[in-house]
C-alpha cells in the first residue's frame, strides 16, 4: 500500500465521520425541556442526597474480572496453532498461565476478590 492511498484512506475516513456528526446534529430531535437535565433512577425521581460512595472493592472486582476475561481470549489463538508450533507454544502458554496465576494470587492476597 502506497503512502498516497493511505493518506486518501484517512481523508475519506475523516470526511465520513465528520459528515455523520453534522448529519446527526441536524437530523436528531432536540428538546430544551428542563426535566431532561434532572437525575432519576429507573424513572423514579430521586429524593434526598443523590451522591453515594461505593466500596472500592466493587471496582477492583470488576477490573480483575475484565483482566482475566480479556486475557482468556488469548487462549483461543494459542489452541489453534498449538499443533503447528509444538513444544514452543506449550512452554509459552505455561508461562502465560503462570503469570495469570501470580496475578490471581496477588488479587486474592490483597482482598480484591472479597465481596463485602
50 in any annotated domain? yes
For the chain, the domain total comes to 1
- With a threshold of 0.85, does the pTM exceed it? no
CATH number (domain holding residue 88): 1.20.58
Per-residue pLDDT at 46 exceeds 70: no
Strands (E), 2-109: 40-41, 44-45
Do residues 70 and 76 lie in contact, with contact meaning Cβ atoms separated by under 8 Å? no
36 in any annotated domain? yes
Mean pLDDT over the full length of the chain: 83
6: pLDDT confidence band, cut at 50, 70 and 90? very high
pLDDT given at position 104: 85
30 in any annotated domain? yes
102 in any annotated domain? yes
108: pLDDT confidence band, cut at 50, 70 and 90? confident
Which structural domain range is residue 12 located in?
3-110
116 in any annotated domain? no
**Mean pLDDT lowest among 6-10, 23-27, 51-55:** 51-55
CA distances from 70 to 12, 28, 49 (A): 32, 35, 37
CA distances from 52 to 15, 48, 55, 57, 114 (A): 43, 11, 10, 15, 21
Per-residue pLDDT at 22 exceeds 90: yes
- Environment class of residue 103 by beta-carbon count within 10 Å: exposed (0-12), middle (13-18) or buried (19+)? middle
d(CA 75, CA 80): 9
Per-residue pLDDT at 9 exceeds 70: yes
16 in any annotated domain? yes
115 in any annotated domain? no
Amino acid at each position: 500500500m502506497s503512502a498516497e492511498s493511505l493518506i486518501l484512506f484517512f481523508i475519506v475516513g475523516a470526511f465520513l465521520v465528520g459528515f455523520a456528526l453534522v448529519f446527526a446534529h441536524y437530523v436528531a430531535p432536540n428538546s430544551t425541556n428542563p426535566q431532561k437535565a434532572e437525575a432519576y433512577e429507573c424513572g423514579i425521581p430521586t429524593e434526598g442526597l443523590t451522591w453515594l460512595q461505593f466500596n472500592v472493592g466493587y471496582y477492583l472486582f470488576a477490573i480483575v474480572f475484565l483482566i482475566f476475561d480479556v486475557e482468556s481470549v488469548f487462549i483461543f489463538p494459542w489452541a489453534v496453532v498449538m499443533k503447528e508450533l509444538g513444544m514452543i507454544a506449550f512452554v509459552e502458554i505455561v508461562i502465560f498461565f503462570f503469570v495469570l496465576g501470580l496475578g490471581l494470587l496477588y488479587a486474592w492476597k490483597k482482598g480484591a476478590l472479597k465481596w463485602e
